[in-house]
Amino acid sequence: MIETLRKIDRALFPDLLVRGIARELAGMESVLDVGCGKGGPLLAVPKPPRLVGADGHQPSLDRLRETGHYDELVFGSLDSVVFSSRSFDVVMCLDVIEHFEKAEACRLIERLEGWAVKKVILTTPNGFTPQPVHDGNPFQEHKCGFEAGELRARGYRVRGFGGPRPLRETFGELRFRPQLLWFRVSRALQPLTWFWAEAASGLVAVKEME
């Protein structure tokens, strides 16, 4: 019964992040997903003609490979993996940069921009959100945070997702109970936080490459 209600709620309050990513990827021929993990929003949007994932956690890649959604999966540390300059229409890095120290995260962003022809898409929590190692993956610890203004200063247009920041806690879980009620509240407020990124729990940033 609860799962049925959740499905109805998802239909009534669609995920604006997934919709936004789908719009950004429309018409793109090749996409690189850096830090793909076990998969995320890209599993919920139409697949581009060429989709490549890269991650430094082999068990996550093994689970993602089972979906058959990606054309190629590359194992390697994200601070050293290399791709050719301007070799993908879009380079995505979803919920990854916060797992590096700030200087390392900024260097990673620069490398992402070097691989992209048309755009770079990032998602990250709004500000620093503590998160410990979990799920057997040592790369899950949060080490830094980014504000909307910082990303705008780097040439990104920024939107907010996940509903209001005060409603979420570690791992993005809803802070209050009953969860079904607060899920509806969070999703209902998505349109507000989409345009008022500073109030959102998460940030999605897109940079158009010249």
pLDDT for the residue numbered 27: 97
Counting the structural domains of the chain, the total is 1
Phi then psi dihedrals of residue 70, to 5 deg: -100, 145
State the DSSP code for 80. T
Helix (H, G, I), strand (E, B) or coil at 18: helix
| Omega of the bond leading into 166 within 30 degrees of 0 (cis) | no
Q: What is the CATH number of the domain that holds 73?
A: 3.40.50.150
pLDDT for the residue numbered 10: 65
* Ranges under pLDDT 70 in the chain: 1-12, 136, 170-171
Domain range for 102: 2-208
pLDDT for the residue numbered 177: 85
Q: What predicted TM-score, i.e. pTM, was given to this entire model?
A: 0.91
Strands 157-164 and 50-55: unpaired
pLDDT for the residue numbered 210: 79
Separation of alpha carbons 210 and 76, rounded Å: 28
Give the pLDDT confidence of 40-92 residue by residue, as tens digits.
Answer: 999 999 999 999 999 999 999 999 999 999 999 999 999 889 999 999 999 99
Taking CA 88 as the corner, what is the angle to CA 85 and CA 92, rounded to the nearest 5 degrees? Answer: 105
- Other beta carbons within 10 angstroms of residue 75's beta carbon come to 14
pLDDT for the residue numbered 179: 81
